[in-house]
Amino acid sequence: MRCPHCESIEDKVLESRTLANSESIRRRRECLSCGYRFTSYERIEEKRLMVIKSDGRREVFEREKLERGVQRACEKRNISQLTIEELINDIEDDAAMAGKSTHEITSRDLGEMVLGKLYALDRVAYIRFASVYRQFQDVAEFIREIASIRNGED
């Protein structure tokens, strides 16, 4: 750490204190060259997860957007809010792990994650989400998707 007084890079840490729910550290330092005391702050800088849309655009992953879609699919179903929160947390964790090296995930991969979790949770919520995500155009697409669910249960 460079001294703000004499610009020497030789210092010693006198005190360290964790701040803000352990998200940052405050350090009191003393320059070994001039004796000037100063404070530095450290925090982890995380790269935000980016979602690559089907047209190639990139946008920041928004938990709220994911939450709205899942809430909508689960509307009027016998699914507790806690279960929905856990499902969203799982999807967010899975997405972060999938995009760990590049900090990117495709909207297609994210949508498939949601479909997989909803399929295991509630088939009606799954169909609702799939109809929007896969952009069903007519009743025949609903019937095909329901038939594939029934065939999977046999």
Which has the higher per-residue pLDDT, 44 or 61?
Answer: 61
* Chain-centroid distance, C-alpha 32: 43
pLDDT on residue 91: 93
Summarize pLDDT for 64-112 with one digit per residue, the tens.
999 999 999 999 999 999 999 999 999 998 998 998 889 999 999 999 9
Q: What angle do CA 58, 101, 67 make, to 5 degrees?
A: 50
pLDDT on residue 68: 94
- For the question of whether the overall pTM of this predicted structure is more than 0.85, the answer is no
pLDDT on residue 139: 85
Summarize pLDDT for 30-55 with one digit per residue, the tens.
999 999 999 998 887 678 899 999 89
